[in-house]
Structure formats: C-alpha cells, structure tokens
Amino acid sequence: MAVGVNDPWYADIVNYLANGVIPANLSSQAKRRFISINRQYFWDKPYLFKYGADQIIRRCVPEEEQQDVLKLCHSLSCGGHFSAKKTALKVLQSGFFWTSLFKDAYTFCISCDRCQRTGNIGKRDEMPDRAANVYI
C-alpha cells in the first residue's frame, strides 16, 4: 500500500510492522536500512511508539497534532517561552516524537510573537547620555 497525501509520516512504518509490507520504490540498500530503522518502533493499535536511545518509549505524533504539542510545551502552562532546543526537549520529556521535531520547534519559536518581542536592551537601543555631551 503506497503512502497517500493524507497519510501520516509514519504510514510506511506501520504498514511494515502490521503487514510486513516494504515500500516498492526502495533500492536494496534502502530496504535494509528501512528494516533496520523499524526495529526501534512498535505498533499498538491505534498508535505507533518509538523506543528512544534513552530507553524511553514515546508516541509518534501525526502532522495535524504536532502544532498543538508544540504550543503546549512552549506557550501554555507547562511551557515558559524557552528556546527551540528546550521546547523540543520538553516535547520529548512529555513522551512525544516525530522526525522533524527540532526543526519544527525552531520554526515555532521563530514565529512566536511574544518570544520575538522580548530581549535585552543593547547599546544601539539605549537613549543618548546627555551628561557625556556637557563640557565643563
């Protein structure tokens, strides 16, 4: 079964784990890599889980839920408008996973209005000092 437009990013993995179906468009080396990577995953209907390198099991999140998870871990009560790396680590700590997690967390933090408005005042932003211009 080929992955359609509305299928989640892990549809090929689920097809392999549930039915043993390997995507037809892979080379022999890519097939071996695909099988090797799929050892990290297991399918417990209706969710796909991944064994992490830290021996923690995380649920794989489809695309339509990813922004909600990022919002929860960055902006809402358990978040604190931290950096992209800290937000991604909070997602992992919450037990969720997807392949482009760190890139998506960076994009989310860049688009966060509150995060972009905060920052320190630099020399360029300071008001000029009048006392420095007064000559005795």
Please count the CA atoms within 13 angstroms of the CA of 60 that sit on its side-chain side: 23
Tokens, residue 21: 């179906």
Domain ranges of the chain: 1-53, 61-119
What is the pLDDT, as a whole number, of residue 64?
94
What is the pLDDT, as a whole number, of residue 116?
81
The per-residue pLDDT for range 55-89, each reduced to its tens digit, is 999 999 999 999 999 999 998 876 678 889 999 99
Tokens, residue 46: 């209706």
**Helix axis angle, 63-74 to 101-111, nearest 10°:** 60
The per-residue pLDDT for range 84-103, each reduced to its tens digit, is 999 999 999 999 999 999 99
* Overall size of the chain counted in residues: 136
Report the chain's mean pLDDT, rounded to a whole number.
Answer: 86
pTM of the entire predicted model: 0.75
3-class state of residue 56 by DSSP: coil
